[in-house]
């Protein structure tokens, strides 16, 4: 998929300055006493036909990000443009006709499929909601979708509990495909599956992308699987993007100290390498997003922390073409006071020497 890099690519999803704060309340009157900053000013693009991997540890805001982009939550601030339309502040009526183009595959196929509906009912529900197909047309479409995801047509009248985890995830994928979407958010689609089944589902997602020209946001904590499926990868930490880069560049030469530590923490399935390898072990835990540290969010655990990190939040800057890093180590200008959003004017070629 990298060979498309030379041709000018169209941005399908553009996210700018996105913030999602959840209120923290206390007392009988549920008075608001603070915010959980699940997403704190994040910006990125997803190009048509690519897979953007979104990785990070639990609580970093990656799932919230996927949900806000599809407007399952109302963002606190920022804009989301999908296919040129800003849906960040759109109301429900404006959103509804846009929904078929953007779909979601959820983590837990057990919880995201209604146990009282048959497979045909589950896959056909989006067709009921958004199209005027006749019964026969609908059934044809359901069969077509079941074939596409590798489910036996004869099982159309069965219930979700009669299927294994991997097959259930295929049902979820078929439902997401029903309305010919352009963009699918896959929120940890393989986390609940066994290793041998994970590969089946990932290969299916890749096949479908090639056949239907889909664009994915692939959210996962599994760095090795993201390396396999993604074209570009964004690393999140505590509600902010730490690094965003093309896949090979990120895995071969991680730049943000957090990315370095994260990759170092993944054990290698090879005892020769594993016994000899030097690891970066981070101390401590992720701070609470309700009370993030002043300055860089990673400064409490960073092995290369400097004075400036304790007071100034680093902005996400493009330091090489296509490589964005939010870290003071890579800032060439001395006065790096900007804590604002990485606006387009910052995305220039400055600092490309690093």
Partner 1 sequence: MPDGAEPVLDVRGLKTVFRTRGGEVHAVNSVSFDLRPGELLGVVGESGSGKSVTMMSLIGLLPSPPADVRGGSVMFDGTDLLKCSEDHLRSVRGARIGFIFQDPMTSLNPVFTVGFQIMEPLRKHMGLDKRAARVRARELLDLVGIPDAGRRLDDYPHQFSGGMRQRVMIAIALACDPKVLIADEPTTALDVTIQAQILELVRELRQKLGMAIVWITHDLGVIAGIADRVMVMYGGQVVEQAPVKELFANPRHPYTRALLKTVPTVRGERAAKLNVIEGQPPILKAEPAACAFRGRCGHAMPRCERENPARRPVGPGHDVACFWDPGTEDWQDG
Residues within window 10-49 making contact with partner 1, judged by CB under 8 A: none
Per DSSP bridges, beta strands 215-220 and 51-55 are parallel
What is the contact mask toward partner 1 in residues 95 to 114, using x (rule: CB under 8 A)? --------------------
Q: What residues does 31 pair with on adjacent strands?
A: 26
In angstroms, how far is CA 174 from the centroid of its own chain? Answer: 20
Give the range of 15-23, 39-47, 173-181, 219-227 binding partner 1 by CB under 8 A: 219-227
**Binding of partner 1 at residue 81 (CB under 8 A)?**
no
Q: Are 43 and 316 contacting, i.e. CB atoms less than 8 angstroms apart?
A: yes
The answer to whether 271 contacts partner 1 (rule: CB under 8 A) is yes
User: Helices 165-177 & 119-130, crossing angle to 10 degrees?
Assistant: 20
Task: Tell me whether residue 276 or residue 334 sits nearer to partner 1 (CB atom).
Answer: 276
Binder among 263, 290, 329, 336 for partner 1 (CB under 8 A): 263
234 binds partner 1 (CB under 8 A): no
Closer residue to partner 1, CB minimum distance, 241 or 286: 286
Helix (H) or strand (E) holding 248: helix 247-252
Q: Does 223 bind partner 1 (CB under 8 A)?
A: yes
Q: Does 179 bind partner 1 (CB under 8 A)?
A: no
Cβ pair 241, 73 in contact under 8 A: no
Whole-number minimum distance, CB 270 to partner 1, in Å?
6
Give the range of 87-95, 212-220, 282-290, 340-348 binding partner 1 by CB under 8 A.
Answer: 282-290
Q: Is 58 in the site for partner 1 (CB under 8 A)?
A: yes
Work out whether the CA dihedral 93, 94, 100, 105 comes out positive or negative.
negative
The binder of partner 1 chosen from 99, 130, 158, 221 (CB under 8 A): 221
68-79 burial: b if 16+ Cβ within 10 Å, else e? bbbbeeebbebe
Does 305 bind partner 1 (CB under 8 A)? Our answer is: no
For partner 1, which is the closer residue by CB, 87 or 225?
225
Selected range binding partner 1 among 26-34, 84-92, 192-200, 211-219, rule: CB under 8 A: 192-200
Residue with tokens 């109302």: 74
Cβ–Cβ under 8 Å, residues 232 and 244:
yes
Task: Count other C-beta atoms under 10 Å from residue 251's C-beta.
Answer: 17
152 is an interface residue for partner 1 by CB under 8 A: no
- Provide, rounded to whole angstroms, the least separation between the CB of residue 282 and partner 1: 5
Q: How many residues are there in the chain?
A: 354
d(CA 43, CA 18): 6
Give the CA distances from residue 121 to residues 7, 107, 175, 178, in Å, rounded to whole numbers and listed in that order. Answer: 42, 20, 10, 12
Binding region for partner 1 (CB under 8 A): 57-58, 164, 166, 194-200, 202-203, 221, 223-225, 227-228, 248, 251, 261-275, 279, 281-283, 285-286
């Amino acid at each position: 998929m990298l060979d498309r890099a030379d041709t000018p690519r169209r941005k399908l999803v553009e996210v700018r300055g996105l913030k999602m704060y959840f209120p923290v309340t206390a007392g009988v009157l549920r008075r608001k006493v603070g915010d959980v900053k699940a997403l704190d000013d994040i910006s990125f693009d997803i190009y048509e036909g690519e897979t953007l991997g979104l990785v990070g540890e639990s609580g970093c805001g990656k799932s919230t990000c996927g949900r806000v982009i599809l407007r399952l939550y109302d963002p606190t601030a920022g804009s989301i443009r999908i296919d040129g339309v800003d849906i960040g502040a759109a109301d429900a009526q404006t959103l509804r006709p846009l929904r078929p183009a953007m779909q979601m595959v959820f983590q837990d196929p057990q919880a995201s499929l209604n146990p009282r509906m048959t497979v045909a009912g589950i896959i056909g529900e989006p067709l009921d909601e958004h199209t005027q197909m006749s019964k026969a047309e609908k059934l044809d479409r359901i069969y077509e979708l079941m074939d596409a995801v590798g489910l036996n047509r004869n099982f159309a009248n069965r219930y979700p509990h009669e299927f294994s985890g991997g097959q259930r995830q295929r049902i979820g994928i078929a439902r997401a495909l029903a309305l010919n979407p352009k963009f699918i958010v896959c929120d940890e689609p393989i986390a609940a599956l066994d290793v041998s089944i994970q590969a089946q589902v990932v290969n299916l997602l890749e096949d479908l992308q090639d056949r239907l020209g889909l664009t994915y946001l692939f959210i996962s904590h599994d760095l090795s699987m993201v390396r396999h499926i993604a074209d570009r990868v964004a690393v999140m930490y505590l509600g902010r993007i730490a690094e965003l880069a093309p896949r090979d560049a990120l895995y071969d030469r991680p730049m943000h100290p957090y990315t370095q530590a994260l990759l170092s923490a993944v054990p290698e399935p090879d005892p020769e390498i594993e016994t000899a390898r030097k690891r970066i072990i981070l101390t401590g835990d992720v701070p609470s997003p309700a009370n993030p540290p002043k300055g860089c969010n990673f400064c409490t655990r960073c092995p290369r922390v400097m004075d400036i990190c304790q007071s100034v939040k680093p902005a996400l800057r493009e330091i090489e073409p296509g490589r964005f890093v939010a870290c003071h180590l890579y800032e060439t200008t001395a006065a790096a006071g900007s804590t604002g959003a990485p606006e387009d004017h910052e995305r220039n070629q400055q600092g490309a020497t690093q």
